[in-house]
Amino acid sequence: MTRVTRVTRDGNRGAPGSRAGSASWTELRYRVLLPLAARSFACGAAYARVVASIEYGRDARRRETAVNRISAWLGKPAADAAWVYHAALSSEAREEADAAYFMRRPEALARFLGAGGDAPMETGPVIYAGLHFGSPILAYLHLCRVRGLNLHAVGRRLDASNPMPAAKRVFGTAKVAWLESLAGRPLLDSAGDGLLQARAELVEGRSLYAVVDVPGDVVDRAADVEIGGERVRFAAGVTTLARLTRVPLRPFVGLRENGRLRVEYGPLVEPGEADATCGQLVDVMRGFVERWPSEWWLWPFVPASPDRGRDGGRS
């Protein structure tokens, strides 16, 4: 089991590291290329390839961090790790393209989201815990539109505390509005009153969906965990919310496969002592990442813990 060395209140809310690029590239990407990508799935695939290649080449430090981490965590040679990182960049860009496509063609969404399949039957409310992986937005819509679950998503609002380039913000704002309209309920902000409502939803017997791999989101707590000999910081707030409400966690991801959405559920994680619960959740999420490493977007962004320790500890 993943060893949790510390759970703390995180003083640096939000995604680790700056993701803002040059203004000219961001303008081209979101104002020119992404609208073209929305024309068809083939255009979306081309967009993902182009974006992945440019993003891979334009930030050597980020690329080095990602490749070294993939090599250490998964035991892959550098060339294979580089391929995984490039593919992860493509996965993130393809999720943007798919969202842009379905925003234009809502009639095509139902087929892509698929059927309910062998979803676990829950006996009460759960927190569906996702990752920045594959198709997190469409995975949430699968829960709402296919399974018919009445649940909010919890995440950061696109406000001044969540800075991003203007062109990206325009798309992001439209995407959130589209998501809320299809889900039939607003996004709950992971800061302030949104968390109070999230807790109330669980107490009243309704489930939630939260992407849990960014420290600072969903209650500002973080856990230091050891993976591949590296001590890194992951979000621990969702486990705090689970413990406070006695609601279990259901790890859940969605990814694009053969032109449809594939969803995967992990085993239920019962809330308990903070370190143990966080360790169990990270173990399941780690299993998703190890099975589909090219779908996880945060390889270079998970921050090292404050002591930045590499001690070869057992993961």
Give dist(CA 16, CA 18) in Å, integer.
7
DSSP code at position 160: T
Q: Summarize pLDDT for 229-282 with one digit per residue, the tens.
A: 888 888 777 888 999 999 999 999 999 999 999 999 999 999 998 888 988 999
Per-state percent for the chain, helix, strand, coil, to nearest 5: 50, 15, 35
Give me the pLDDT at residue 23, please. Answer: 82
Give me the pLDDT at residue 16, please. Answer: 39
Confidence of residue 219 (pLDDT cuts 50, 70, 90): very low
pLDDT: is 254 or 115 the higher one? 254
- pLDDT of residue 11 exceeding 50: no
Strand order of the β-sheet with 3-9 is 3-9, 221-227, 230-235
Q: Summarize pLDDT for 75-99 with one digit per residue, the tens.
A: 999 999 999 999 999 999 999 999 9
From residue 243, alpha-carbon distances to 126, 128, 292 in Å are 12, 14, 29
Strand order of the β-sheet with 249-257 is 188-189, 152-155, 208-211, 127-130, 249-257, 260-265
Cα dihedral 131, 181, 43, 146, rounded to 10, equals 60
Q: What is the mean pLDDT of residues 197-226?
A: 82
Show me where the domains of the chain are located: 3-295
Confidence of residue 115 (pLDDT cuts 50, 70, 90): confident
